[in-house]
Amino acid sequence: MKKTIFTGAATAIVTPMDENGVNYQEFERLIEWQIQNGIDAIVSVGTTGEGSTLTDEEHKQAIKFCVDVVNKRVPVIAGTGSNDTAYAIELSKYAEEVGADALLLVTPYYNKATQKGLIQSFKVVADAVNIPCILYNVPSRTGCNLLPESVAVLAEHPNIVAIKEACGNISQIAKLASLCGDKIDIYSGNDDQIVPVMSLGGKGVISVLSNIMPNETSQMCKLYMAGKHQEALKLQLDLLPLIDALFCEVNPIPVKHAVYKMGFCQDYLRLPLTPMESQNAQKLENLMRAQNLIK
């Protein structure tokens, strides 16, 4: 059986920015707060971290900075996937060099590869490194769906140990669990499906919600793992309105605003992303107040 990278909640952490670039002082403060509040792992420069609009140098610096600040207190998973497989290899090798504990490899976007192409692409990236790889399936963003049969093939690779499944289709995730068994760990990629995915054998979540509620998100997973299924379910359902608000506009627009309101960074996004619409921001803030996250 392959080694599990983490159990519980990993934060797909936002990347604090301003007009001068990545704000590393704010980034460090946010990372420290996450660890102090019981997060189980951190994903640096994923979708939520706006990896798609960072320069190559910023992308690498943000990964290294996160690794250095965390300093092995929790696993750091580096977002190194790309629609250019050669670039994904370059980034992945760099992340390994600077001490990342694992890699998050999104399905190549825009190209719309065949299942054969997806399998070959993931295999060559995994071949190029000696650290664990987490596949990331998010068809709503990438335009392609990594099918359970393809994951079953990839699960035979010694370095491919897990998948962040954000297809949103519980039936597909059930089939994935059935085909792969203990050959691959499954993490929910959707905060509104943490408990449902764990009921299918999932090990936790790679979360947007945990940017603002790391302890509660981790606790939801730990309650489920401890057999306290009703308590975990209650927490899942109680947080559903807030989770919905965090996705009422495309991620990471709402969560960047939420983290800003909590005093951790500026509400700064790079085009083509723009700040949250005022009516949506008001609704999100009201739900945050109800959870005592802001005054």
Rounded CA separation 247/47 (Å): 13
Neighbours of 132 (CB within 10 A): 22
Rg of the Cα atoms in the chain? 18
DSSP state of 227: T
136 included as an active-site residue:
yes
187 included as an active-site residue:
no
Neighbours of 213 (CB within 10 A): 25
Give me the catalytic one of 136, 187, 224, 260.
136
Give me the catalytic one of 60, 64, 164, 256.
164
Contacts of 183 (CB under 8 A, 6+ apart): 2, 152, 155, 156
Q: Is 186 left (phi over 0), alpha (psi -120 to 50) or beta?
A: beta
Rounded CA separation 264/262 (Å): 6
Contact 42, 73 (CB under 8 A): no
Name the residues annotated as catalytic. Answer: 136, 164
